[in-house]
Amino acid sequence: MSRPQSTPRESGHAPVNGIQIYYEIHGDTSGVPLVLLHGGGSTIQSTFGQVLPLLARHRTVIALEEQAPGRTTDRDRPVRFDSSADDVIGLLEHLRIAQVDLWGFSNGASVALHVTLQRPDMVRRLVFASSMTRRSGAYPYLWEAIRQAGFNDMPQALKDAFLEVNPDPQKLKTMHDKDAERMRSFEDVPDELVRTIEAPTLLLAGDQDIVTLEHVIGLTHLIPGARVLIVPGGHGDYMGTAEASQPGNPYPPLTAALVEAFLDASS
């Protein structure tokens, strides 16, 4: 079975907060655009390659690469979730887009959360996928792996995806090191802040994900009206991310359709 493809109708770099952010705009429909925020160590394609073309059939989709990954430039500062959120907000302001839906995966979900907290007026609906608001929301093995992780431990599929769009191996290593350091510096988001989220929220995870199901369900008690979607598989399987993709994986189209149903719901 061939993978779906989507050619952006617009792509380029936007000057935001001292860096040049690479972005793509897919689809050409009216309504609130959907912004996709990729996972750690990833690019647009390696995280969303299997679902983006499906989403772009029915809505405008904006995808971007954050500080250091892929085609976006770097700056002499650490990468943090709140600074990445500032960059997303800056890009949307540059594009003169007042309101969006957000789908963030893994580290991208943490960025999406901070965008929602910083600019609640800008976020209509939030898909918070495979991430956590506090360290205890992930299994201990994740933090041990992050503590020990070196460049050689980075999945080859993610290395290949980066080098496909940016052939500089030193920039690849810099991106890895900055992403790893960000996770080692992970700070809990206070529950009282999470409770302020007003955007309708879909909590999405695999049943064998890096985040605990207890944490996912616990977030429904903090985020008013939050919905939950648990799909069989591990981290990224339900989206067919590059590092998790398995031949014949049937879940990405199903996940895309269910997320779209959430985005299109009237309440």
CATH code of the domain containing 253: 3.40.50.1820
What local confidence, expressed as pLDDT, does residue 259 receive? 98
In a domain, 3, yes or no: no
Phi-psi region of 41 (alpha: psi -120 to 50; beta: other; left: phi over 0): left
In a domain, 112, yes or no: yes
Number of compact structural domains in the chain: 1
Within-domain flag for 141:
yes
> How many CA atoms does the CB half-sphere of 105 hold within 13 Å?
32
Task: Reply yes or no on whether the pLDDT at 17 is more than 80.
Answer: yes
Do the domain assignments include residue 1? no
Average pLDDT, stretch 124-144? Answer: 98
Q: Is residue 2 part of a domain?
A: no
Whether 4 is in a domain gets the answer no
Residue 121: exposure state from Cβ atoms within 10 A (0-12, 13-18, ≥19): exposed
Residue partners of 152: CB distance under 8 A and separation at least 6:
none
- Rounded CA-CA distance 113/223 in Å is 11
Q: Which domain holds residue 192?
A: 10-264
- In tens, the pLDDT along 40-60 reads 999 999 999 999 999 999 999
Taking the CA atoms of 102, 175, 186 and 228 in sequence, report the sign of the dihedral they define: positive
Q: What pTM was estimated for this model as a whole?
A: 0.97
pLDDT at 2 over 60: no
